[in-house]
Each structure stands twice: as C-alpha cells, then as structure tokens.
Amino acid sequence: MIKDRYINPLTDFGFKKLFGEAANKELLIHFLNQLLPEKHQVEDLEYLPSERLPSSFLDRKVIFDIYCTSSRGEQFVIELQRSKQNHFIDRSIFYSTFPIQEQSERGDWNFKLWPIYTICILDFKINQPNPHNRVIRYVQLKDQDKELFFKDLTYIYIELPNFTKTLDELEDLQDKWLYLFRYLAKLEDRPAALQERIFTRLFRAAEIASYSTEERQNYEVSLKKHRDIKNAIDTALEEGLEKGRAEGLEEGLKKGEERGLEKGELKAKKAMAKQMQAANLPLEQIAKITGCSLEQIKNWLKD
C-alpha cells in the first residue's frame, strides 16, 4: 500500500510519468531550460522512440530513458541512473554516438551536426575528481590549452547527492528542480517556496491519488524494484567490503588490503546480482546496474 502523497521521480515509472509523456512535456521543457544556455532554450520538443536498434546483428541495442528533439533540431538523450556503475561515463558517451549517427543524410552531406546533449541525472557520485562538490557538471571537448574545440556535443552530469540545500536556501528555479528530484516523494504538502505555475503542474501530475488503478499498481512495482535494488546494493557492498578487508588483512597490510578489497568488490557484485535476481529483475538490468557483462552475470547466477 502506497502511503506517500507524491510519486518518486527517481523510480523508472515516476521519471517517465512526469517527464516522458507528451501530456507532461511542459515539465521536461522547463527542466531542460534550467540547464541549457540561452541559445539552446527549448520552445517545443518531440519525443523520439527510446529503443535504438543496432545497425548489424553484431552491434548492441540500447534503450534510452528519454530521447527527444527540440523544434530547432537539438537532440537530447536523458538518462536516470539510481545505482552506482563503475563505467557509467563510458556508457553515457557510448549513448551519445547514436544521435550522432542518426544525423547522417543520404547523398551529398557536409557532415554538419545539430547540437547534442546527453543529460544524466544520477543518485550517486561518479568516480571522477570533484573538489568543489559540484552538483551539475558540464563536459565538452577541449584542446590541450583547455580551449573549447567542439561546441555542439555536451554532457551534463547531475550528481544529486551533492545537492544539500534546504527549502530556505533555494536561490533559483534550477535549485527548486534539484530539490524536487531529491525530496518530492517525502513531501506531504506543496511548500510555500515552490509556488511557481510550473510546479502547480508538477504537483498535480505527481499526486498518486489521481492515478488509475493500473498506474498505481505499475508504480508500486517500480517502487519495489527501486527499494530492492537499493537494499541489495547496500547489503552487498557492506558484506563485500567486510570480507574484502578481512582477506586483505590476512594477505598483508598494504598489498593485502588492495587485493582483499578487489576480491571484496567482486564478491559484492556477485551477491548483489543474486539478490537482484531474487527480486525478479531482468538479467539485462542486473548487468546494467553492476557494470558487468551479461555473460558474466549469467555465469555467476548459473553457479
């Protein structure tokens, strides 16, 4: 039984319900415009099919969370990732190659590309130095003198754990969106600090009581998966690190600790995979969350 008043936007169902439906595209447009430069502000957008088929049977199929294009031609790949993944940055760059390839034209073509944005909303901190604990990081191609080399390929990483502002500390609309991503599901009423018209629409779209029976059931399934994944990861990491440290101490101080932690991390991933399988998660999703290959996951679960 769902006790919350508002949906959790960090679940698959919640994210796509609020931002992936044509009826709510105003919410997505407003959110994007808080991230984009003035020259790329979105006036209207069109959702594109999220499943990108491979060009040959040897290539890998991908499914984006949200894929859309603005009325002027800018393209957006928007990904929500709740659990930490070792090679997530590699994955985000791989994903950006699909809209690049899809811009090719038959016949004579001068290779001019429309701007592409890969936007990643992360409920964890990525494995990259972040001395200023930035919540939002903009990444573009630069040369050895740190001069912008190519302006139309941009990666935006939003690390939600770094956002710690309270309601009283929110300074602008960007802050308010980040606050809602983190705390919407915990709110019982709409705060006075969030009275803008766009948030009237958001709170209306997020109210679980207004959903059909089928939508509430789908949300419950998504919420359960969200909690099961989090619990599985927390438990597996805790157990894995404990075993790793124990083995590391047996093998020696510095060298042993490094090897032990390595083994512990592997055991953590195995335990995580088994717990997620028990929660009936598809093997493809388990591989995506752990950052391991599908073949490796199958071998572990077979054992």
pLDDT reported for residue 32 = 97
pLDDT, one tens digit per residue, over 29-85 is 999 999 999 999 999 999 998 875 555 444 555 778 999 999 999 999 999 998 888
User: pTM score, two decimals?
Assistant: 0.76
Asked if pLDDT for residue 258 goes beyond 70, the answer is no
pLDDT reported for residue 265 = 73
pLDDT reported for residue 57 = 42
Average pLDDT over residues 79-93: 89
pLDDT, one tens digit per residue, over 263-298 is 667 777 888 888 787 777 778 888 877 778 888 888
User: What residues does each domain of the chain span?
Assistant: 12-211, 214-302
Which carries the bigger pLDDT value, residue 191 or residue 249?
191
Average pLDDT over residues 177-196: 95
How far, in Å, CA of 111 to CA of 95, rounded? Answer: 19
